[in-house]
């Protein structure tokens, strides 16, 4: 029996979340159909995280067990032929049988896109949250520093959600306008395209957070609070007060799912134990 690890990306707006639903389409369900068609056997797909309806992924990781001897290269081609364009498999790798996409993970990273300009976008609407009021990104970024460290995140998890362990180790968190992350300093060197791209990047705010684990809707609840800080409705140190209070009612509203992306799942190096075929 082989254990196959998949790295996938998907448009979450097309599905009712990653996890299989009884009556609504999910990423897991479609993946299992594709594997059944390619491998000629049923296999349960286990994901590293259960993204909500509308949440996207560019670095989701899954695994499944199979007796099929199809090579990883042929699995990659076959699965993408079945799945694309809504779900794309970026990498296929055979890993040790003990590997588990969820329990072997050592951390995850998400980012959230905010379109911050006076008018919305017909093209970016499915992938960003439009805020027409000007946001103070410096204040938002300063507030992010209160998130870093091992803390009780009860105040940022969804009200009524289960789970007794609310301790999360946030390794990194920041807010930035996209143009500040672009490696070139002279957009005019790229001609008219460079100017258009640079102007758009000034209108997009990126929130990035990396942690060992995430509570239910934690990232979106943090974003909702950061937006209120950016609008100067809340002070920068409100993050610290919410963490101390452990009360969800003290935080801002939940940001919509369409701006959220699962960016990466982190694992320890298995290069000596795994092999790509």
Tell how strand 87-95 and strand 260-266 pair up. unpaired
Q: Quick one: CA dihedral 62, 63, 68, 73, positive or negative?
A: positive
* Cis? peptide before 85, omega within 30° of 0: yes
Q: From the candidates 52, 86, 152, 212, which is the catalytic residue?
A: 52
Beta bridge partners of 6: 62, 92
> CB neighbours of 220 closer than 8 A, spacing ≥ 6?
112, 254, 255, 256, 257, 260
Residue 138 is a catalytic residue: no
Q: How many residues does the chain have?
A: 277
- Kindly list the distances between the CA atom of residue 98 and the CA atoms of 4, 94, 129, in Å, as whole numbers in the listed order: 11, 11, 39
Q: Which residues contact 201 (CB under 8 A, 6 or more apart)?
A: 177, 178, 179, 182
Q: Annotated catalytic sites, by residue?
A: 52
């Amino acid at each position: 029996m082989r254990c196959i690890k998949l790295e996938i990306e998907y448009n979450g707006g097309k599905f009712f979340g990653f996890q299989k639903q009884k009556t609504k389409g999910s990423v897991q369900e479609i993946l299992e159909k594709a594997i059944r068609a390619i491998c000629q056997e049923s296999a349960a797909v286990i994901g590293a995280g259960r993204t909500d309806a509308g949440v996207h992924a560019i670095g989701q990781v899954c695994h499944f067990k199979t007796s099929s001897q199809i090579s990883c290269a042929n699995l990659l081609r076959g699965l993408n032929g079945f799945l694309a364009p809504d779900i794309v498999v970026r990498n296929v790798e055979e890993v040790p049988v003990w590997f588990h996409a969820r329990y072997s993970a050592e951390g995850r990273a998400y980012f959230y896109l905010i379109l911050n300009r006076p008018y919305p976008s017909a093209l970016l609407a499915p992938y960003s949250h439009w805020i027409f009021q000007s946001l103070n990104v410096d204040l938002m970024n300063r507030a992010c520093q209160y998130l870093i460290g091992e803390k009780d995140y009860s105040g940022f998890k969804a009200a009524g959600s289960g789970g007794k362990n609310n301790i999360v180790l946030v390794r990194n968190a920041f807010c930035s306008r996209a143009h500040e992350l672009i490696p070139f300093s002279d957009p005019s060197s790229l001609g008219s395209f460079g100017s258009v791209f640079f102007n758009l990047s000034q209108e997009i705010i990126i929130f990035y957070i990396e942690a060992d684990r995430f509570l239910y809707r934690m990232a979106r609840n943090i974003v909702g609070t950061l937006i209120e800080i950016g609008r100067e409705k809340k002070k920068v140190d409100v993050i610290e007060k919410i963490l101390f209070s452990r009360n969800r009612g003290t935080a801002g509203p939940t940001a919509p799912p369409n701006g959220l992306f699962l960016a990466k799942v982190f694992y320890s190096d298995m290069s000596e134990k795994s092999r790509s075929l």
